[in-house]
Amino acid sequence: MPPTTAEVAVVGGGLAGAGAACVLAKAGHEVMLLEREASATHKICGEFLSTETQGYLRRLGLDLDGLGGHVVSHLRLVRENTIVETALPFNGMGLSRYRLDEALLNHACQCGAQLSRGQRASVADISGSIDLDVQNAGTVRTNTLFLATGKHDLRELRRHPDTPPEDLVGFKMHFDVDSTQRHALANHVELVLFAHGYAGLQRVEDGRVNLCLLAEGSWLKACGGTWEGLLEELLRTCPHLQRRLSNATPLLSQPLTIYRVPYGFVYNPPANSAGNIYRLGDQVGVISSFSGDGMGIALHSGVVAATHYLAGLDAGSYHRRIRHDIASQIWRAGLLYRASRWAPSQRLLMGWTRLMPRSLRLAASLTRIPPSAVTQAMERIP
């Protein structure tokens, strides 16, 4: 079978890939978007949409307000029986990735991208033009690859983090909670610190509540190595989560899990890197989850890569730009995360934020993409 050709192939239809495809297709370019999932799926995520994430989605033309997300205006930081609350410096939104990613993929198609789904792509040849092997669909030949496979590396194009990922396991589960707890969670995102990790709790659409947590792998083992064991131990030792979830019903047949995320990774292109392979989203940088801005980075990188391509700038120029935009944000988020990791620093953090709750707003601002970079990128969207 002769290869199918595409001017640009985008591998991965998450927010980074679909966002880039919207920009390229709207500008009249031929884009093939390859997504391995055949239909909408749940993804592990706190599902907190920052102001940048929302801004990009609206600027791309998505009817975000029609998706039923829950407005999040306040942050509650919780440790044992201490609770500190403050207004966020912006209104966030709780919206499931199940609903959001599907809506953006559909929007990319409406913009003119050619979507091929249920197709896992791998690299066959990158020595000149790029040949992709696409499950069930033969070879796709392209001059330009946008690599947006999130946490999944293509074998030939692996990320190489400088430091090995920490022994952390992530879980996500949606719950139906009782009306008192649903009411208590209205307009709030809760960040709950516990001895072996932290959890984020917030409402998403249709009154569902998302619990997303990161815990040390050794602690998971001590809890019997299962989600059920870990949840039981968490509810036993954490009065706040006990209150929120003791009468809750899980809404997913099993939790989503992730292991050894390379937090802090920022892609540093080698001197001989290909000028026609643009890395987007988690393939270019991975920020600590608690910052709630990974989706913002994914969309920012998708837009910056696409607008660089439209301006005739190669991947080298794009990778320098994106590093400049996100490296310090990712570093600061890592620092804050490490500071919130250990019991003594957790106690210090709680004491400090009780005295100065507004310092949480400062932390939220420090872990965002610089506003000037966002404004500049948005202005370049055709």
Ligand X SMILES: Cc1cc2nc3c(=O)[nH]c(=O)nc-3n(C[C@H](O)[C@H](O)[C@H](O)COP(=O)(O)OP(=O)(O)OC[C@H]3O[C@@H](n4cnc5c(N)ncnc54)[C@H](O)[C@@H]3O)c2cc1C
133 scored as a contact of ligand X (CB under 6 A)? no
Whole-angstrom Cα distance, residue 329 to residue 338? 14
Reduced to 3 states (helix: H, G, I; strand: E, B; else coil), residue 172 is strand
Q: Which of 9, 10, 16, 169 binds ligand X (CB under 6 A)?
A: 16
> CB under 6 A: which stretch of 28-36, 138-146, 173-181, 364-372 binds ligand X?
28-36
Nearer to ligand X, 46 or 255 (CB): 46
Reduced to 3 states (helix: H, G, I; strand: E, B; else coil), residue 160 is coil
281 scored as a contact of ligand X (CB under 6 A)? yes
Copy the structure tokens of residue 103: 């809506």
The strand pair at 4-11 and 138-147 is best described as parallel
Nearer to ligand X, 44 or 247 (CB): 44
Nearer to ligand X, 46 or 245 (CB): 46
Minimal distance, residue 81 CB to ligand X, in Å = 25
The kind and range of the H/E element at 375 are helix 371-379
* Bridge partners (DSSP) listed for residue 34: 11, 116
Whole-angstrom Cα distance, residue 218 to residue 162? 23
148 scored as a contact of ligand X (CB under 6 A)? yes
Backbone angles phi, psi at 199, to 5 degrees: -130, 145
35 scored as a contact of ligand X (CB under 6 A)? yes
Whole-angstrom Cα distance, residue 322 to residue 115? 26
Minimal distance, residue 174 CB to ligand X, in Å = 14
Minimal distance, residue 10 CB to ligand X, in Å = 9
Nearer to ligand X, 50 or 86 (CB): 50
The kind and range of the H/E element at 11 are strand 4-11
Q: Which of 8, 9, 10, 15 binds ligand X (CB under 6 A)?
A: 15
Burial of 39 (0-12, 13-18, 19+ CB in 10 A): exposed
Nearer to ligand X, 239 or 269 (CB): 269
Enumerate residues 315-374 that contact ligand X by CB under 6 A.
none
Nearer to ligand X, 141 or 347 (CB): 141
The kind and range of the H/E element at 236 are helix 227-237
Residues making contact with ligand X (CB under 6 A): 11-17, 34-37, 43-48, 50, 53, 120-121, 148-152, 154, 170, 212, 214, 258, 261, 281-282, 289, 292-296, 298
